[in-house]
Structure 1
Amino acid sequence: MGWKGILGFEYGIVQAPLGPDIAGPELVAAVANAGALGLLRAPDSESPEYLKELIRKTRSLTDKAFGVGVVLAFPHKENIKAILEEKVAVLQLYWGECSKELVLEAHSSGVKVVPQVGSLEEAKKAIDVGVDAIIVQGREAGGHVIGQEALISLLPQVVDLVGGRDIPVIAAGGIADARGYVAALALGAKGICMGTRFVATQESYAHSTYKRKLIEYDKTEYTDVFGRARWPGAPHRVLQTPFFCDWKSLPAQESETNQPIIGHSTIHRVEKEIRRFAGTCPNPTTTGDIESMVMYAGQGVGLIKEILPAGEVVKRLVEGAQLLIQQMSGESVYI
């Protein structure tokens, strides 16, 4: 049954490494304690000692295994070294090439490697270097989106590509409830990875206004308006807030570099100025014009109606998926 575990975890549910610091120890530990795979988000700058502190704090909150997500578009070698030294269960990689050397190094430390891909070509490269699982991200996903294909078409292609190999395929993009979970299983996935649904939890390190907007709004848009200078060529899906709707036609030559400062935030212990159109989503330390800041969200956001404990999210997903599958298997099917 597909709601059962992947990669040694009790359930086939993965909490995405929400950034820059939204997936902190409290959220990851809550997800792990519920039997799913929680992923910390590594800083986007080399901070190995601080990252080790995050890992150790998470371990103080759970005796279950968890992982760390790393964006390869930013400096990361020392961070990955720290992750392997700490021997977390899973190294999740995104937005860059996962090399065979890195996979071998991780495996020698007892760490499983799980890249997130947005195309069939990326998936093939991941299989060839010997990864342990693959997260397939559809264009419906919130945050930064590397591919252009919808999950419903890309996912079964990757499943077919994997074939009989022992590489679980995990679906990501627009999934927010048990129905999406079961749909992903029907397409051949062994599990799901969710971001937006876990931002909207009690333990996530998102600003309360950001969480509230995830309940209030139900439309998103794929754009490149935010963070053009810091992370060029990295389109993303965001909530259609009034601010975004007013500015979504921002000329291509504009970026956050020449914009006014609209707030301040402490991110991974570093004080940051937030300029208009920055790609930094607000956390609880953020001050200023919160409603004019980026709020990443996937297309499933309209299905999120309340802020729940992360463990309750996992519980509802598992029980809902079990019930749906039982109902379908017990009924006659007419075509």
Structure 2
Amino acid sequence: MKGILGFEYGIVQAPLGPDISGPELVAAVANAGGIGLLRCPDWECPDYLRELIRKTKTLTEKPFGIGVVLAFPHDLNIKTILEEKVAVLQLYWGDCSQELVDDAHFAGVKVIPQVGNVEEARKAVAVGVDAIIVQGREAGGHVIGKDGLFSLLPRVVDLVGERDIPVIAAGGIVDGRGYVAALSLGAQGVCLGTRFVATHESYAHPIYKRKLIEYEKTEYTDVFGRARWPGAPQRVLETPFFDDWRSLPAHENEVNQPIIGRSTIHGVEKEIRRFSGTVPNMTTTGDLESMAMYAGQSVGLIKEILPAGEVVKSLVEEAQALILQKFNNATTT
């Protein structure tokens, strides 16, 4: 399987929020030849961020990246990322400006925005990004677009045309079959979130990981985090808690809800209110069953918690075997 952007493989581990893709997961993916992405905190914390990046560098000599959500304060954080010369700056949910791309390129950092529609992709191409992640509505967590991956992806591939901008597919991809399907539509790489949450190295709480194995259904909703991140729908596991509250009235949000747990997120103690949208990490205590658990539509294909390096390896091997068996046979018969 062909690599992209100087990486061995075109396999991207999504930046899993708020801190689920920590140094251990990112380093494991990088060491296996994939593109591991840390998740930048949603508040300005340049000193902490520098430590996070440097800790990751102690666990891998390979390049890696970091994802920044532009809907939250980020100027000082991005300045730190560029100073630390992280290989990849992944951007989401905001304007990927020409100035930002120029600053990143001056620092030797590649820029990869994640888009949810053709217009966003067109703007990204215009400012000279290095690659584009195309996210379909099947994706877990916060979803910016309304189109399914298989209708959106080839349109962005056509838009990019002959330019040297790899298109990376995201949303509902968990195995070699999804990888090959994305390649057949013109993608040069794939970005996986849920599959990497369900790994040994992910910082997700063991109960959250177990639910990804137990449950098979997800729902696209806006029940969680309405006050903190308005207008940001998400895809979650259909847990009993979600089933009970899926019809939460539009005027309700997390602000006046009871505190159902506590968590340390990026070194900061946080109270978790009902409907806050904070997924449980390793430090989370309280009523975990009532917390948001993000997952993509293909979660039912995930049957076990695996080492992250094995996920990368099996994706490559499954895809190679599929191409050899299915497609080579098809062309010779």
TM-score range, shorter chain: over 0.9
Mapped to 2, the partners of 1:255 and 1:317 lie a distance apart of 39
In the superposition, the TM-score normalised over structure 2's length comes to 0.99
1:328 maps to a residue whose letter is: K
Name which of 180, 183, 193 aligns with 2:181: 183
2:253 maps to a residue whose letter is: S
Tell me the residue number matched to 2:53: 55
Aligned pair 1:65/2:63, yes or no?
yes
Q: Give 1:239-318 correspondences, 5 Å limit.
A: 239-318=237-316
Tell me the residue number matched to 1:75: 73
Q: Give 1:82-97 correspondences, 5 Å limit.
A: 82-97=80-95
Name which of 6, 9, 13 aligns with 2:7: 9
Aligned pair 1:43/2:33, yes or no?
no
Tell me the residue number matched to 1:125: 123
Aligned pair 1:114/2:115, yes or no?
no
Q: In the TM superposition, what is the alpha-carbon distance from 1:328 to its structure 2 partner?
A: 2.2
1:35 maps to a residue whose letter is: G
1:56 maps to a residue whose letter is: R
Cα deviation per residue 1:153-200 (whole Å; 9 max; x = unaligned)? 000000000000000000000000000000000000000000000000
2:266 maps to a residue whose letter is: H
Mapped to 2, the partners of 1:334 and 1:234 lie a distance apart of 48
Tell me the residue number matched to 2:221: 223
Q: In the TM superposition, what is the alpha-carbon distance from 1:333 to its structure 2 partner?
A: 5.5
Q: In the TM superposition, what is the alpha-carbon distance from 1:332 to its structure 2 partner?
A: 3.1
Mapped to 2, the partners of 1:84 and 1:218 lie a distance apart of 40
Name which of 19, 22, 25 aligns with 1:24: 22
Name which of 202, 219, 233 aligns with 1:204: 202
Q: In the TM superposition, what is the alpha-carbon distance from 1:330 to its structure 2 partner?
A: 2.6
Mapped to 2, the partners of 1:332 and 1:117 lie a distance apart of 34
1:155 maps to a residue whose letter is: L
Aligned pair 1:102/2:100, yes or no?
yes
Q: What secondary structure does 2:255 align onto? A: helix
Mapped to 1, the partners of 2:198 and 2:164 lie a distance apart of 33
Q: In the TM superposition, what is the alpha-carbon distance from 1:331 to its structure 2 partner?
A: 1.1
Q: In the TM superposition, what is the alpha-carbon distance from 1:279 to its structure 2 partner?
A: 1.1
Q: Which runs of 4+ in 1 moved over 6 A?
A: none
Mapped to 1, the partners of 2:2 and 2:79 lie a distance apart of 31
Q: What secondary structure does 2:330 align onto? A: coil
Mapped to 2, the partners of 1:234 and 1:145 lie a distance apart of 7
Name which of 164, 168, 171 aligns with 1:170: 168
Mapped to 1, the partners of 2:61 and 2:267 lie a distance apart of 25
2:163 maps to a residue whose letter is: R
Q: In the TM superposition, what is the alpha-carbon distance from 1:324 to its structure 2 partner?
A: 0.3
Mapped to 1, the partners of 2:170 and 2:129 lie a distance apart of 17
Q: What CA RMSD, in Å, does the superposition of the two structures yield over aligned residues? A: 1.0
Q: In the TM superposition, what is the alpha-carbon distance from 1:300 to its structure 2 partner?
A: 1.0
Tell me the residue number matched to 2:31: 33
Mapped to 2, the partners of 1:235 and 1:254 lie a distance apart of 15
Cα deviation per residue 1:75-128 (whole Å; 9 max; x = unaligned)? 000000000000010000000010001100000000000000000000000000
Mapped to 1, the partners of 2:160 and 2:246 lie a distance apart of 38
Tell me the residue number matched to 1:233: 231
Cα deviation per residue 1:205-262 (whole Å; 9 max; x = unaligned)? 0000000000000000000000000000000000000000000000000000011000
1:332 maps to a residue whose letter is: A
Q: Give aligned pairs, total.
A: 333
Tell me the residue number matched to 2:152: 154
Q: In the TM superposition, what is the alpha-carbon distance from 1:334 to its structure 2 partner?
A: 10
Tell me the residue number matched to 2:321: 323
Mapped to 1, the partners of 2:204 and 2:11 lie a distance apart of 21
Mapped to 1, the partners of 2:290 and 2:329 lie a distance apart of 49
Q: What secondary structure does 1:32 align onto? A: helix
Q: In the TM superposition, what is the alpha-carbon distance from 1:318 to its structure 2 partner?
A: 0.2
Mapped to 2, the partners of 1:5 and 1:300 lie a distance apart of 24
Percent identity over the alignment?
78
Unaligned runs of 5+ in 1: none
Mapped to 2, the partners of 1:64 and 1:127 lie a distance apart of 27
